[in-house]
Homo-oligomer: A and B are copies of this chain.
Amino acid sequence: MRIRVINPNTTHAMTAAMGEAAQSIAAPGTRIIATQPDSGPASIESHFDEAVAAVGVIDEIIEGEREETDAYVIACFGDPGLLAARELTRAPVIGIAEAAFHMATLISTRFSIVTTLGRTGIIAEHLLAQYGFTHHCRRVRAAEIPVLDLEESGDAALGRIIDESRRARDEDGIGAIVLGCGGMAKLTGEISEAVGLPVVEGVTAAIKLAEALVGLGLGTSKHGDLAFPRPKTFTGHFERYANSSALR
């Protein structure tokens, strides 16, 4: 099974780290292809960053379709471009935020999210609402760490995430913590150990959900509103999509 893990930002170190986390958890027969777009933001911390990154996700799906990928993972906690991506393929496409939410509800009745910057909280709230998990999440907490500091500032960043996670554990009445950034994938073990309750991380969760769907023979429905897009004219930079939208 080939799973394409798409890092929607352009920071190679994050792609590599998430790829490693993914491969480490993957089933024996699963091959992880960790990729990233050539064009896009170095990190995703706003609606603007997300909107731009969605195009990169689309390009990576189209690229993946050329190689007959079995499943896709969108490895940014805002799940950018998720429904667009689903329209472009028969394979399953899993966002890491949704993956983490689903898994957290299977092992606890209530969870909290510990994310990077407070300003991205609204993105998590909108996703929780769309996916149906508003009432399962007690609180969205931010450690106020820019995404790339997860790469660079090492222990300081880890310390703040652990501190915030402990506050979640002690104050929120929860059973599990969801890590709110793909960049935290490599820290999951340390956080989990320090906090002492189940810590759900989206990249790894998404890999297992992708494997699960492929194992079930289930892919994105092509009946109804996730059918392939109608072919049409695209102009300018996006002329390349005139054909892609007719992929099938």
Beta-carbon contacts of A35-70 to B below 8 Å, as 1s and 0s? 001111111011111111011001000000000000
A167 adjacent to chain B (CB < 8 Å): no
How many copies of this chain are found per oligomer? 6
CA distance A148 to B232 in the complex (A): 10
Residue of B nearest to A98 (CB): B106
- Given the interface pairs A198-B218, A226-B108, the reply to whether A83 lies near B47 with Cβ below 8 Å is yes
Q: What are 30 A-B interface contacts by the 8 Å CB criterion?
A: A10-B233, A10-B234, A25-B215, A39-B235, A39-B239, A41-B234, A42-B235, A46-B84, A48-B241, A51-B51, A51-B84, A52-B234, A52-B238, A54-B54, A55-B238, A86-B107, A98-B106, A103-B212, A106-B209, A107-B219, A109-B225, A119-B224, A119-B225, A129-B129, A132-B133, A146-B230, A175-B224, A176-B223, A196-B223, A211-B212
List 4 additional contacts besides A173-B224, A175-B224; criterion CB under 8 Å.
A41-B234, A52-B84, A196-B223, A209-B212
> When A and B form their complex, which 7 residue pairs have the shortest distance between CB atoms, in order from nearest?
A39-B236, A132-B132, A208-B212, A175-B221, A47-B83, A51-B84, A197-B223
